């Protein structure tokens, strides 16, 4: 079953989407059979945002990751030639290739088999708000 999630981001940063993905899996649970096992594949349909699984207990981990990636890929690098949408445009594309646009998560007992401290995040690399589309594909 394929579900489209529309996620509104307030701007740059890691935005948790675990609950929305878990609901899509629950809505697809009839496909999973008696054991409730399968695979959830996520795909973000953008080139300036990405997906990741990361710690969801301590917000300082997210802040540190965001700060680290911003230092690694700074805005206004004089070598950038792609600048048509502002100073965060080219860095957002580089950040997206350094992270992930798809994730695969096992489903066990009709639930995402995430670890205790793991959450699913949409990583918005642009500074302005965007509406991002994430496809959730559940297979048995």
Could you read off the pLDDT of 22-34 as tens digits, one per residue?
999 999 988 898 8
Q: Where are the domains of the chain?
A: 2-139
The pLDDT of residue 33 is: 87
| Distance from C-alpha of 48 to C-alpha of 116, rounded to nearest angstrom | 29
The pLDDT of residue 52 is: 98
- pLDDT under 50 in the chain at which residues? none
Angstrom distances, CA of residue 41 to CA of 53, 63, 108, 112? 13, 26, 14, 11
Report whether 53 contacts 114 (CB < 8 A): yes
Output phi, psi for 67, to 5 deg. Answer: -65, -40
The pLDDT of residue 92 is: 97
The pLDDT of residue 77 is: 94
The pLDDT of residue 137 is: 98
Helix axes 89-98, 59-72, angle to 10 degrees: 120
Global pTM value: 0.95
**CA nearest neighbour of 114 among 59, 40, 58:** 40
Residue range 2-139, CATH number:
2.60.120.460
């Amino acid at each position: 079953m394929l579900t489209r999630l529309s996620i509104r981001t307030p701007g740059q940063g890691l935005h948790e989407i675990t609950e929305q993905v878990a609901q899509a899996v629950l809505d697809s649970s009839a496909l999973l059979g008696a054991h409730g096992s399968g695979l959830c594949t996520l795909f973000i349909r953008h080139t300036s945002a990405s997906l990741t699984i990361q710690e969801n207990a301590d917000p300082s981990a997210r802040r540190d990751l965001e700060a680290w990636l911003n230092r690694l890929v700074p805005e206004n690098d004089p070598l950038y030639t792609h600048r048509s949408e502002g100073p965060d445009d080219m860095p957002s594309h580089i950040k997206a290739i350094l992270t992930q646009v798809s994730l695969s998560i096992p489903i066990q007992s009709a639930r995402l088999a995430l670890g205790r401290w793991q959450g699913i995040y949409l990583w918005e690399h642009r500074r302005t708000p965007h509406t991002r589309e994430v496809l959730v594909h559940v297979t048995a």
